[in-house]
Amino acid sequence: MKYTAIAFLLVLITACSKDDTPKDYRAENDAEIQAYIAENNLTVEKSNSGLYYSIDNPGTGDNPTITDRVKVIYKGYYTDGTVFDESTEGASFILQNVILGWVEGIPFFKEGGSGKLLIPSHLAYGSRDVRGIPAGSVLIFDVELVYVNYVTENEAQIQNYIAENNLTAQKSESGLYYTIDEPGTGSQPTQNNNVTVAYKGYLLNGNVFDESDPMGVAFGLQQVIPGWTEGITYFKEGGSGVLLIPARLGYGNNGIPRAGIPGGAVLIFDINLISVN
Active site residue 232: no
Give the separation between CA 202 and CA 246, rounded to whole angstroms: 13
For the chain, state the CA radius of gyration. 24
Active site residue 269: yes
Could you say which of 202, 209, 256, 270 is catalytic? 209
Give the separation between CA 276 and CA 190, rounded to whole angstroms: 9
Distances (CA, A) of 47 to 76, 78, 138, 271: 20, 20, 16, 50
Distances (CA, A) of 89 to 74, 122, 252: 9, 28, 22
Amino acid at 21: T
Active site residue 209: yes
Active site residue 109: no
Give the separation between CA 13 and CA 131, rounded to whole angstroms: 11
CA dihedral of residues 109, 111, 117, 122 (deg, nearest 10):
80
Look at residue 152 and give its three-state secondary structure.
helix
Could you say which of 108, 177, 199, 235 is catalytic? 199
Could you say which of 210, 219, 256, 270 is catalytic? 210
Could you say which of 180, 225, 256, 270 is catalytic? 225
Could you say which of 109, 147, 251, 261 is catalytic? 251
Give the separation between CA 73 and CA 193, rounded to whole angstroms: 44
Distances (CA, A) of 94 to 20, 121, 182, 219: 30, 21, 40, 33
CA dihedral of residues 200, 201, 204, 207 (deg, nearest 10):
-80
Q: Would you list the DSSP string of 74-112?
A: EEEE-TT--EEEEEEEEEEEEGGGS-HHHHHHGGGS-TT
Q: Annotated active-site positions, please?
A: 199, 209-210, 225, 251, 269
